[in-house]
Amino acid sequence: ELIRDNEIKWNKIKEYRGSFLMIRELEYFNIEGAIGWNQNWFRDLSMYFGGCAAVTVCDLCIYMARQKGIKSLYPFNANSLSKGDYIAFSKIIKKYLGPRLRGVDTLELYISGLLNYWHEIGCDSLNAESISGTVPWTESKNLIKKQIDSGMIVPFLLLNHKNRTMKNYQWHWFNLAGYKEDQGEFLVKAVTYGSFHWLNLQELWDTGYNRKGGIICIKR
């Protein structure tokens, strides 16, 4: 059964053994066939190599302009996206969350840049809260579910990770735009580089290092 509203797709598919697979995905935007922005499209080398934090903010603002009706978040036409407009927008966001020597490697840096941008454009009613990667993964699971159920994508910072299968996500910001639950396993839909992959949240959260990243929860 498929149920649609303005932002969310619900899937409930009956599985073998009488269990349920539940999938919830947000309606992310597309640019020239890619899901969100592909960082490889930047001509600015600093953004090409280190613009992941800015990309998640650009995507977040475009998403909220389209799905939440907050048009002031994106200074171009959110319903007619183009590479040129996105690059122009990224130059604005770069002033707040541009690449730096070690990247935007803390949740506090990210929130500071995000809130400064929102303040400058008069969106002080929006707020953001950081959830450290030191909290139990089950707590992050509940918060991610709550955000996605409310129709909000979730910026995620991963620093180092012991599992080599996570190497493409190390020291990287990306957005979560869905979750999937099946027989005790909880997967999140990670959107980055114009594509997405389903990742096991418990494995993603358990980095094996003392220094952690975490998630950003948007408050309205």
Give the model confidence (pLDDT) of 188-204 as tens digits. 999 999 999 999 999 99
Tell me the mean pLDDT in the region 166-184. Answer: 94
More confident residue, 5 or 217: 217
User: In angstroms, rounded to a whole number, what is the distance separating the alpha carbons of residues 42 and 185?
Assistant: 36
End-to-end CA distance of the chain: 31
Mean pLDDT of 168-181: 96
Q: How far apart are CA 164 and CA 109, in angstroms?
A: 27
8 A C-beta contact, residue 38 and residue 193: yes
Phi–psi pair at 29, nearest 5 degrees: -90, 165
Provide mean pLDDT across the span 78-100: 96
